[in-house]
Amino acid sequence: MLTAIDPSNGETLHEFAPASAEQVERILADGETAYRDWRQTSFAQRAEVLRKAANVMRDDVDRLAILMTEEMGKPIKEARGEVEKAAWCAEHYAEHAEQYLATETLASDAHHSYVSYEPLGVILGILPWNAPFWLAFRYCAPTLMAGNVCVMKHDPHVPACAQAIADVFVRAGAPQNIFLNLPLETPAVEAVIRDPRVQAVSFTGSEKGGAAVASIAASEIKHSVLELGGSDPAIVLADADLETAADTLTLSRIINAGQSCIAAKRIIVEAPVYDQMVELLTERLAKLKLGDPREESTDIGPIARADLRDNLHRQVNDTLSAGARCVLGGELPSGPGFYYPVTLLTNVTESMCGAREETFGPVAVVMKAQDEADAIRIANNTPYGLAAAVWSDAKRGEAIAAQLETGQVAVNGIVKTDPRLPSGGIKRSGMGRELGPHGIREFVNAKQVWVGPKQG
């Protein structure tokens, strides 16, 4: 069963039966059939569908938002923002997909030679629980606008969100079966990846899960895009605007109760301003309210599952046992739900758990660097390479950005995903790109066409 548990109290919300073998077969067959017509539609026709889907979400934002709050604990004010961002993503690709996929003329010995970008077919999206609507539209908006059909296998812990996302397209009057919800328990997804009707896979999730998906897809000679974990560094140098940096890094660390791949996880501070930065972070983090995610005043809701909270607490304890200092939090609260307090760990070194592993929760880790070169070395000393931030003079920050081994860098700003800009990681944080013009080109056939007669 696909079971949703309310993380604010640990009680079961609802259960959904996973798709049977017959239902999986029908979903894949329906997707393949829908693709034959959808691929023939114009960009204008596809854009109309995406714009209507965006309108449906905006008109129903409160009902859609509470589904996330109930199933995975996202504070209601953040949940509304996520629905709005998903709508923006749909609108962005409706507006820009034709430009992003415009045919490119390339000079050769042909009378005329060019590259056209054509759809592939049915694209499987395997999605996590931490941003149910945003990640669904990050995957489906460019994929649909390219002329593909989407089959979405969402996380088993957010089944109502998954069904609501599929219903958005029905309510928008989209052509039948261009977007299909595939409710499955995770072990059953391998057979779907291997199915010949599935042409490629988009996966967002853990490093372990990504490795499994990539290996299965590769064994079938299928393309996959992976957005995996991160231990994202944020470098704060002595010439930074410390007050603004502290404000931004506090927000970055605690959005979605810290359950974000691109959250600032290792705050690396140059020695001369280390103590001051710790003081500024302490002041801001201490003001945040942990509580019921349904309340408008709540800043931080619960961790999504009990096992995730247990692992987070293990990471904190291991880091403290190795010699780190706990300035805030660090103790499991009593009472129902999977809450974890805002925690600030200082004097963290590179060998400690909090610096080596991805911490998925409201735990800020502060590390000291002797100078700029040391800060860059510490930042790159990780198997991950998703995103990073630099706080310094802008020109100096850009120079440092060029030396950081990550897929994206924010200089004097928050690391975020934006439909206009590509996002993705290197090393063990994944491969391929999502969003922007780069993302829509992941699931297309870049077809070279040579038209004679030969010239010269």
Catalytically active residues, by annotation: 227, 261
| Pairing of the two strands 233-236 and 179-181 | unpaired
| CA distance readout (Å), 314 to 334, 347, 367 | 17, 18, 19
**Rounded distance, CA 25 to CA 315, Å?**
42
Comparing C-alpha atoms, which of 58, 94, 145 is closest to residue 444? 145
Q: Which tokens go with 136?
A: 């669904």
Residue 434: DSSP 8-state: B
| CA distance readout (Å), 169 to 53, 67, 144, 447 | 6, 17, 11, 30
Residue 17: DSSP 8-state: P
**Rounded distance, CA 149 to CA 37, Å?**
10
Q: Which tokens go with 347?
A: 């004097």
The answer to whether residues 231 and 367 touch, using CB atoms and an 8 Å cutoff, is no
Q: Which tokens go with 13?
A: 């919300």
Strand (E) or helix (H) holding 274:
helix 274-285
- Number of helices (H), then strands (E), in the chain: 15, 20
Residue 176: DSSP 8-state: T
**Rounded distance, CA 9 to CA 1, Å?**
20
At 189, is the secondary structure helix, strand, or coil? helix
How far does Cα 105 stand from its chain's mean position?
34
Residue 42: DSSP 8-state: -
Q: Which tokens go with 102?
A: 């415009």
Comparing C-alpha atoms, which of 227, 33, 259 is closest to residue 126? 227
